[in-house]
Amino acid sequence: MPSLDGLLDAHQKIMRHTRARHLLDDDQQRRRPFGFTLDDTLHVDFSKHPINDETIELLSQLCQHAGLESKRDAMVAGAAINTAEQRPALHMALRSGPGQRSYSADGEPVSAEVHRVLDQISDFCDSLQSGARRGATGQAFTHVVNIGIGGSDLGPRMVCQALRPYADTGLEVRFVSNVDPSDLENCLADMDPARTLFVVASKTFTTQETLTNAKAARRWLNAGLGLASDDVAQSGAHFVAVTAAPQRAEDFGIQASAIFPFWDWVGGRYSLWSAIGLPIALAIGPKRFVELLSGAHAMDEHFIAAPLDQNIPALMGALSYYYRNYWDAASHAVLPYDQNLEALPAYLQQLEMESNGKSITTAAEPVKAKTAPVIWGAAGTNAQHSFFQCLHQGTDTVTMDMLAAAKSPTQDQEQHQILLANFLAQGRAFLEGQDQALAKTRFLAKGMNDEQAELAAINSQIVGNRHITMMIYPELTPWVLGALIALYEHRVFVQAVLCDINPFDQWGVELGKVLAKEILPALNEDKLVEVDPSTQALMARLKAWQA
pLDDT of residue 26: 74
pLDDT of residue 233: 63
Q: How far apart are CA 360 and CA 357, in angstroms?
A: 10
CATH class for the domain made up of 110-290? alpha beta
From 360, 358, 383, select the one nearest 372 (Cα to Cα).
Answer: 358
First to last CA, the chain: 71
CATH topology of domain 4-65+306-499: Rossmann fold (3.40.50)
Rg (CA), the chain: 26
Q: How many CB atoms lie within 10 A of CB 230?
A: 11
User: Phi and psi at residue 63, in whole multiples of 5°?
Assistant: -65, -40
Position 347, amino acid: Y
Q: How far apart are CA 242 and CA 240, in angstroms?
A: 7
pLDDT of residue 29: 53
Give the pTM. 0.95
Chain centroid to Cα 100, Å, comes to 25
Position 316, amino acid: M
Q: How far apart are CA 372 and CA 330, in angstroms?
A: 8
Angle at CA of residue 216, ends 214 and 222, nearest 5°: 100
Q: How far apart are CA 68 and CA 57, in angstroms?
A: 15
pLDDT of residue 1: 58
Angle at CA of residue 44, ends 41 and 47, nearest 5°: 140
pLDDT of residue 231: 67
Q: Which helix (H) or strand (E) holds 35?
A: strand 35-38
Q: How far apart are CA 255 and CA 251, in angstroms?
A: 9
Q: How far apart are CA 199 and CA 275, in angstroms?
A: 11
Residue 505 DSSP code: -
Q: How many CB atoms lie within 10 A of CB 84?
A: 15
Q: How far apart are CA 469 and CA 336, in angstroms?
A: 12
Q: How many CB atoms lie within 10 A of CB 27?
A: 8
What are the E-state strand segments in 169-327? 172-176, 196-201, 239-243, 259-261
Q: How far apart are CA 533 and CA 541, in angstroms?
A: 12
pLDDT of residue 25: 80
Q: How far apart are CA 418 and CA 414, in angstroms?
A: 7
Q: How far apart are CA 213 and CA 44, in angstroms?
A: 40
> What is the SS3 assignment for 186?
helix
Q: How far apart are CA 147 and CA 198, in angstroms?
A: 7
Active site residues: 354, 385, 513
Q: How many CB atoms lie within 10 A of CB 368?
A: 10
Q: How many CB atoms lie within 10 A of CB 191?
A: 17
Q: How far apart are CA 540 and CA 306, in angstroms?
A: 59
Q: What string of pLDDT tens digits covers the 547 residues of the chain?
A: 579 999 999 999 999 998 888 888 876 556 566 899 999 999 999 999 999 999 999 999 999 999 999 999 999 999 999 988 899 999 999 999 999 999 999 889 999 999 999 999 999 999 999 999 999 999 999 999 999 999 999 999 999 999 999 999 999 999 999 999 999 999 999 999 999 999 999 999 999 999 999 999 999 999 999 987 666 666 788 999 999 999 999 999 999 999 999 999 999 999 999 999 999 999 999 999 999 999 999 999 999 999 999 999 999 999 999 999 999 999 999 999 999 999 999 999 999 999 999 999 999 999 999 999 999 999 999 999 999 999 999 999 999 999 999 999 999 999 999 999 999 999 999 999 988 988 899 899 999 999 999 999 999 999 889 999 999 999 999 999 999 999 999 999 999 999 999 999 988 888 888 888 889 988 887 777 888 999 989 998 998 899 8
**Do residues 126 and 135 touch, judged by C-beta distance below 8 A?**
no
Q: Which helix (H) or strand (E) holds 24?
A: helix 20-25
Q: How far apart are CA 324 and CA 360, in angstroms?
A: 17
Beta-carbon contacts of 390 under 8 Å, excluding residues fewer than 6 positions away, are 396, 398
Q: Which helix (H) or strand (E) holds 467?
A: strand 467-473
Give Cα separations from 2 to 8, 28, 72 (angstroms). 10, 26, 28
**Do residues 269 and 154 touch, judged by C-beta distance below 8 A?**
yes
Q: How many CB atoms lie within 10 A of CB 407?
A: 13
Position 167, amino acid: A
Q: Which helix (H) or strand (E) holds 16?
A: none
Q: How far apart are CA 90 and CA 325, in angstroms?
A: 29
From 125, 132, 479, 142, select the one nearest 285 (Cα to Cα).
Answer: 125
Q: Which residues pair with 109 in a beta bridge?
A: 104
Q: Which residues pair with 335 in a beta bridge?
A: 402
Q: How far apart are CA 33 and CA 332, in angstroms?
A: 24
Instruction: List, as one string, the DSSP characters of 347-414.
Output: HHIIIIIIHH---B-TTSSB--S--PPEEEE--TTGGGGTTHHHHHH-SS-EEEEEEEESS-SSS-HH
Q: Give me the residue spans of the domains in the chain.
A: 4-65+306-499, 110-290, 508-546
**Do residues 48 and 19 touch, judged by C-beta distance below 8 A?**
no
